């Protein structure tokens, strides 16, 4: 539930994750050859099964699911590992998973749609919309909440909410994961954390920012952020496998389990209250739904050009490698073939990556149940190998 290790792919992390070593299974959609695309034709996907397998076989995950989309077509899909360590079922390539902070991209999209409709102004103080709700709200703008420059404390910094030690994981598994929070409670916990800096005077990731944005959406529309995401994004795009749970602790449909690693063996943390994430990280999806969402968003089908430009106007992320910058609900960083845009997420049991090109022509979605956290550089290298191949092509082509 922290936003560290490694910095580039953890920028969008909300909640910590866990996973275990397991066997490999696969399901692919496309040939393994890499072909240069024409301007209007999809590019065949590199075979990413070896990289997906490595996330499991080299000890970091129990399961990994991924899809690559190019020019609107899913050109590769795969799975590796075990869905359930108790039964040995293989991980399903079409399985659902908790997407954690990738939820923020959906919520930011709705907010920017409301900006385009003239119902919200990015540089208005949040006090204008939620009077008395946010400490120092007269000096914190909507934009600063969306790009994490508000200075608001992160409610996940409170160890009573989430403690990433072994003892904390045991407590979360036993009782913490069942606690139901209201947005007001999460805001109060975050407000009790000392501000990181004066509004606009720095950058610090805080899930509290997006809890406030969820409250803003409800105040502006009269509907919850879940209803607005459903009506404005999921239904129009036909994303039927993306859900926005309120209090249900289960993941509907086929899915891989997530685990904490303990000396005596894995602790299954698949079920938990989504209220710990709220508008900052409660959603559940699939790799196919996520790549379709990314293609629609960056392809200009959800936001007008002016609002998409606002979304991709960035601020620096201190000490982040790969020239990482944070926009409004999205991250930008550098791969060998250029800039990529998207978000990452972490919640106990699940890590997610969703990135692609600025023009929406190519993207990948990856879910992996990370278990072995003993070598973060190794984990980062395995992840980087996957995304370089997914978005830049073969190692020879991307070098």
* Beta-ladder partners of 363: 69, 356
Joined tokens for residue 256 = 């891989």
Please list the active-site residues. Answer: 101
> Nearest 5°: CA angle at 64, between 255 and 367?
75
CA 197, CA 349: separation in Å to the nearest integer? Answer: 31
CA 162, CA 281: separation in Å to the nearest integer? Answer: 14
Return the SS3 of 307. helix
Give which of 163, 165, 109 is closest to 276, Cα–Cα.
Answer: 163
CA 255, CA 99: separation in Å to the nearest integer? Answer: 12
Our CA dihedral for 318, 147, 352, 333, rounded to 10 degrees, sits at -50
* Beta-ladder partners of 107: none
Joined tokens for residue 174 = 């036993």
Please say whether the beta carbons of 83 and 270 come within 8 A: no
Give which of 301, 376, 386 is closest to 352, Cα–Cα.
Answer: 386
Please say whether the beta carbons of 254 and 314 come within 8 A: no
For residue 221, CA distances in Å to 135, 187, 188, 217 come to 23, 20, 23, 6
Give which of 159, 262, 150 is closest to 204, Cα–Cα.
Answer: 150
């Amino acid at each position: 539930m922290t936003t560290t290790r490694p910095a580039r792919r953890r920028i969008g992390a909300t909640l910590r994750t866990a996973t275990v070593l397991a066997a490999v299974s696969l399901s692919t959609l496309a040939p393994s050859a890499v072909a240069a695309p024409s301007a209007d034709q999809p590019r065949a996907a590199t075979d990413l099964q070896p990289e997906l397998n490595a996330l499991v076989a080299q000890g970091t995950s129990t399961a990994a699911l991924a899809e690559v989309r190019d020019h609107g077509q899913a050109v590769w899909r795969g799975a590796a590992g075990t869905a359930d360590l108790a039964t040995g079922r293989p991980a399903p390539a079409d399985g659902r998973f908790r997407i954690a902070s990738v939820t923020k991209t959906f919520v930011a999209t709705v907010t920017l749609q409301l900006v385009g409709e003239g119902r919200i102004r990015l540089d208005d103080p949040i006090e204008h919309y939620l009077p008395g709700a946010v400490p120092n709200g007269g000096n914190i703008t909507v934009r600063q909440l969306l790009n994490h420059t508000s200075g608001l404390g992160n409610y996940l910094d409170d160890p009573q909410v989430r403690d990433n030690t072994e003892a904390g994981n045991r407590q979360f598994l036993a009782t913490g994961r069942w606690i139901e929070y209201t947005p007001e409670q999460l805001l109060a916990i975050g407000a009790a954390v000392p501000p990181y800096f004066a509004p606009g005077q720095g950058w610090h990731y805080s899930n509290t920012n997006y809890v406030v944005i969820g409250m803003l959406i409800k105040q502006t529309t009269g509907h919850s952020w879940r209803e607005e995401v459903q009506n404005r994004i999921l239904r129009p795009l036909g994303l039927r496998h993306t859900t926005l749970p309120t209090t249900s602790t289960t993941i509907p449909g086929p899915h891989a389990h997530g685990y904490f690693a303990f000396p005596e063996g894995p602790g299954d943390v698949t079920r938990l209250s989504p209220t710990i994430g709220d508008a900052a990280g409660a959603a559940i999806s699939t790799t196919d739904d996520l790549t379709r969402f990314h293609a629609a968003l960056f392809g200009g089908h959800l936001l007008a050009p002016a609002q998409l430009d606002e979304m991709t106007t960035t601020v620096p992320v201190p000490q982040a490698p790969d020239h990482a910058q944070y926009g409004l609900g999205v991250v930008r960083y550098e791969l060998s073939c250029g800039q990529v845009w998207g978000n990452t997420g972490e919640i106990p049991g699940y890590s997610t990556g969703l990135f692609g090109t600025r023009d929406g022509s190519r993207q990948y979605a990856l879910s992996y149940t990370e278990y072995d956290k003993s070598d973060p550089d190794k984990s980062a290298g395995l992840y980087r190998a996957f995304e370089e191949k997914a978005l830049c092509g073969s190692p020879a082509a991307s070098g």
